[in-house]
A and B are shown apart, each in its own frame.
Chain A
Amino acid sequence: MSTSNDTEFLQLINQHRGILHKVVNLYLDDKLEREDLIQEILFQAFRGFQNFRREAQFSTWLYKVSLNTVFSYRRKNERRQQAEQQAAPIEIQELPSDESAELYYHIRQLEPVNRMIISLHLDGYGNQDIAAITGMSANTIGVRLHRIRETLTLKLTSHHD
């Protein structure tokens, strides 16, 4: 990788580094694990940057890299997590008092793919973009989004009523 590429990568990743945190926070609880995964995403992004086609949006590409890394990490650790969950006592988490934190809390309760869809949608990505990232059809995304929005709205309003 040439050094001009390095500089470009640095600039772009610094502009969009919020994406890394957003994705990692949606899927992982442990702070240390999150930090490790951010490093792993950075490494994967850095490695893949040589093949990044400039006509695509960097943020979309970074989202894709981040999600792929998170999902493959989760797949790798699935067995360990299941064992930990079975061994650990069930923890009842309190709903956050703040409404925006509550939304985040409910999003984290959704199934993994839906978490990704809604977060991308709320970050301003269109159905076509989300479809390209997730590999689903734009129609499926539309239907899923409708359901997710309904579920979230219901949960938020029911708690505050």
Chain B
Amino acid sequence: MTDLQALWDKHSTREEQSKALQEKDLLRLHSNKNAPLAKLRKNIYINTGFAIVILIGFLGLLFYIDGFLFRLFTGILCVSYVAAILFNIYMVRNYLREPAPDQSLKEYLTKLLNNMNKAFRSVELIALMIYPIAMTAGFLLPLTLEGKIDLIYNEPVVQGILIACYIVLTPLCWYFAKYMNKVAFGKYLNQLEDILKDLNRQD
């Protein structure tokens, strides 16, 4: 009687074995599902989508509403939105790429986290300068529509309200944007940081 078990064992020991799975492969598996890298990319795309919609809105206003001052501030906003969209594309292409096969995962994650944190800090700081411009444009819109743009030059109460808006709303917008960034990106950056910490512990 043929011993099936012996033959099977003999064949099994000869079976091709794959190389062991590495941490890098895990990251790839992570990126297949709700992985931090994939989520970061997705949220940047969503952010870019919103920026494009808002930009289209601003461009519409720019074309349909006549008024030099309003157009100047809205124009600056349009330029800053275009810059933000381009920067998002740059981030996805340069920072959120998959690690190269010969790159160490630790080195890759360190670089990615540094770059992303720096990028978000810079964007937050630049946005701090954009908020007053956006508020001014918002302030100028009804004045321009009603043909009362002179009020901004001559009426101290109007100027006072605008300054009060700067003082109150700029920090609020800044904190809100920081909070939104934390919700959209912070969680996933923390997950990547945890992976990096784990890798450092293993060394």
Contacts and interface: CB of A to CB of B under 8 A. Distances in A.
Interface centre among B7, B11, B17 (most CB of A within 10 A): B11
Interface string B19-36: 011010110011011000
A120 to B, nearest CB: 11
A17 B20 contact: yes
B150 to A, nearest CB: 62
B198 A100 contact: no
Nearest to B33: A47
Contacts of B17: 17-18, 21
Contact of B16 (A21, A43, A101, A102): A21
Interface in B4-62: 4-5, 7-12, 14-18, 20-21, 23, 25-26, 29-30, 32-33
Q: Main secondary structure on chain A at its contact with chain B?
A: helix
A122 B7 CA distance: 10
B18 A25 contact: no
A14 B17 CA distance: 10
A5 to B, nearest CB: 10
Interface residues of B, number: 29
B29 A20 contact: no
B23 A10 contact: yes
A149 to B, nearest CB: 6
Interface of B: 1-2, 4-5, 7-12, 14-18, 20-21, 23, 25-26, 29-30, 32-33, 194-195, 197-198, 202
A7 to B, nearest CB: 7
Contacts of A3: 194-195, 197-198
16 contacts: A3-B198, A6-B23, A10-B23, A10-B26, A17-B20, A18-B12, A21-B16, A22-B12, A42-B25, A99-B7, A100-B11, A103-B7, A104-B11, A152-B2, A156-B4, A157-B1
Interface string A30-65: 000000001000110011000000000000000000
A7 B194 CA distance: 12
B26 A6 contact: yes
